Amino acid sequence: MTDKDSTVRPDRRAELAAGLARVRTRIADACAAAGRDRDTVTMIAVTKTYPVDDVLALAGLGVHDLGENRDQEAAGKAAEVAAAGVRPRWHFVGQLQRNKCRSVVRYADVVHSVDRVRLVGALATASAAARDRPLDVLLQVSIDADPDRGGAVPDSADPDTGLGPVAEAVAAAPALRLTGLMAVAPLGWAPERAFSRLAEVAAAFRADHPEATALSAGMSGDLEIAIAHGATQVRVGSALLGMRPTLR
Ligand SMILES: *Cc1c(COP(=O)(O)O)cnc(C)c1O
């Protein structure tokens, strides 16, 4: 236990431990139902809006993968966590702006949200300048093919937002490593429909990029359905930490 860790109230620590146990059981049950090994699915704890004390408590409970969606919040938290002597794997899961790339590559181990060719150049340049090994990248896919809502569009030849062009740009950048796809079920879509469509996109994608086997899909409300459709990483916030005060 670190000094920081000991500042977590015991009742909060117990609450987080209970949430973690519930989520781990859900993941194990979903894997069993899908006939998959439990160790094919990684849980990422999405800690946005929650304090560093919660992050350290989760790390103390054995959570190694942590996610954040805003650079400003994430950069500060990652620095505090590192200062406490804890070395998690940080996943940046939020929308990424070109002017944030230089900051994000300093603490993130994985970026889940690359969805435009124009972003790839900035991320590759920043990664090459600040890191001694490539940055793992997942491409965010638009399941409903609405480019206004973010996500690269499958079966589109658009030179900026088509999934093929974005993948080729990442694959051609030595400072980036293409590891797979990420998606969020679109509003108004049943998760079953969204994740079965995503599974089709992922299968076609792997034919061209066989090394890119990661599939980041599923959150607190729909992780079982995502696992049934092949998710290898689930991003879980509220089911672990409680409801966030503000929606974002
Ligand atoms: C907040 C967030 C999550 C976690 O959502 P919950 O519903 O709280 O589990 C997952 N993915 C992304 C991209 C997020 O921004």
**Spacing, Cα 66 to ligand 1 middle (Å):** 11
- Ligand 1, atom 5, lies closest to the CA of 237
- Looking from the CA of 17 toward its CB, the CA atoms found within 13 Å total 9
- Residue range(s) defining the domain that contains residue 130: 5-241
Q: Quick check: is 248 in a domain?
A: no
**Spacing, Cα 162 to ligand 1 middle (Å):** 24
Q: Quick check: is 66 in a domain?
A: yes
Q: Quick check: is 247 in a domain?
A: no
Q: Residue 55 is which amino acid?
A: V
Q: Is the CB of 237 within 6 Å of ligand 1?
A: yes
- Ligand 1, atom 7, lies closest to the CA of 220
d(CA 6, CA 199): 43
Local confidence pLDDT in tens for the 248 residues of the chain: 444 555 778 899 999 999 999 999 999 999 999 999 999 999 999 999 999 999 999 999 999 999 999 999 999 999 999 999 999 999 999 999 999 999 999 999 999 999 999 999 999 999 999 999 999 999 999 999 986 778 999 999 899 999 999 999 999 999 999 999 999 999 999 999 999 999 999 999 999 999 999 999 999 999 999 999 999 999 999 999 998 876 54
**Spacing, Cα 235 to ligand 1 middle (Å):** 6
DSSP-assigned letter for residue 109: S
**Spacing, Cα 163 to ligand 1 middle (Å):** 22
Q: Which two tokens stand for residue 11?
A: 């009742």
- The closest of 160, 203, 158 to 181, measured between CA atoms, is 203
Q: Is the CB of 219 within 6 Å of ligand 1?
A: yes
Number of structural domains in the chain? 1
**Spacing, Cα 26 to ligand 1 middle (Å):** 17
3-state secondary structure of 181: strand
Q: Which two tokens stand for residue 111?
A: 């970026």
Q: Is the CB of 69 within 6 Å of ligand 1?
A: yes
Report yes or no: 96 and 127 within 8 Å, Cβ to Cβ: no
For 210-220, write each residue's pLDDT tens digit: 999 999 999 99
Report yes or no: 218 and 235 within 8 Å, Cβ to Cβ: yes
Q: Which two tokens stand for residue 231?
A: 């998710």
Q: Quick check: is 246 in a domain?
A: no
Q: Which two tokens stand for residue 144?
A: 């409903």
Residue at token pair 């996943």: 91
Q: Which two tokens stand for residue 222?
A: 């729909």
Q: Is the CB of 48 within 6 Å of ligand 1?
A: yes
DSSP percent split of the chain into helix, strand, coil, nearest 5: 45, 15, 35
d(CA 218, CA 95): 17
Q: What is the CATH number of the domain that holds 66?
A: 3.20.20.10
Beta bridge partners of 110: 91, 136
